[in-house]
A and B are shown apart, each in its own frame.
Chain A
Amino acid sequence: MEKTRSVRTVQDKRNDKDERRSGTMMIRVKMFGRFRHELWECREIGAKSGASALEVLQEAVPRDSIMFPEVFDAEERIKNHIIIVRNGTRMTRAEYDGLPLKDSDEIAVLPPVAGG
């Protein structure tokens, strides 16, 4: 147990160093509902360190796909009825517009829900 924790710490430090050196991070982006059908289920997306969820998604969603106007409005902001979840917790608009993501974060893009 102690050994595992020690190895992880060393690995974490290596990752931090690599991230600072390269200035990039990897974000796991998951899609659900019709977004999953039209785009993908889960992808690792490279982004510059400190990028927000909005910036990651602007890079990740192809501009020529039919889903781009479904996800973004005319000003390329995420549409109001779309929910962004970071590591299992919903983000506010202020958070997904400006909060810097961390390397290995997972964000999920949820179209309007239709349960019940």
Chain B
Amino acid sequence: MKSREPCGTIGIARERFEIAPLIQAAKDRSTGAIATFVGVVRDDGIESITIEAYEEVAEKDLHEIRDEAVSRFDLVEVTILHRIGILAVGDDILLIVVSAGHRKQAFSGCEYILERIKERVPIWKEENLGNGNRWVRGNNE
């Protein structure tokens, strides 16, 4: 079988993204399953959250994680978008869309990507409480 370059959108996003068109774009004739993960700003008594990244390294990491996941789980298409900037409660932080021939590949690929992002991509969150700010502890601290 001829291997193909993975498609999809990978990157750090400064603006809101529309999810539905990105899910639709993940389909092709070989697609049997699409798994989607959306991380959302939770109301932990905050007014907003500021997300910052070391963009140059984060973009490189996201592409590497995509390539690892495609290779391990035989994925068809992968989209990974991580927001930066000031976000309100309910805003989308992270979108992962994974398409594959079968559901197990899609679920496993989606989870793998999420865990690798939490583990290594240089992104930080600062919660804005109204009367001060606090940095969210690191995922490996």
Which of A's residues lie within 8 Å of B, judged by CB? 32-34, 37, 81, 83, 85, 88, 90, 108, 110-116
Contacts and interface: CB of A to CB of B under 8 A. Distances in A.
A65 B52 CA distance: 23
A115 B117 contact: yes
Contacts of A88: 56-57, 60
Interface residues of B, number: 30
Complex A-B, nearest 5 residue pairs according to Cβ-Cβ distance, in ascending order: A112-B138, A115-B123, A33-B124, A116-B118, A34-B135
B98 interface: no
Interface of B: 39, 51-54, 56-58, 60, 82, 93-94, 114, 117-126, 135-141
B62 to A, nearest CB: 10
Contacts of B117: 115-116
Contacts of A90: 57
A14 to B, nearest CB: 29
B39 to A, nearest CB: 6
Nearest to A79: B141
14 contacts: A33-B124, A33-B135, A37-B126, A108-B57, A111-B138, A113-B118, A113-B123, A114-B123, A114-B124, A114-B138, A115-B122, A115-B125, A116-B39, A116-B117
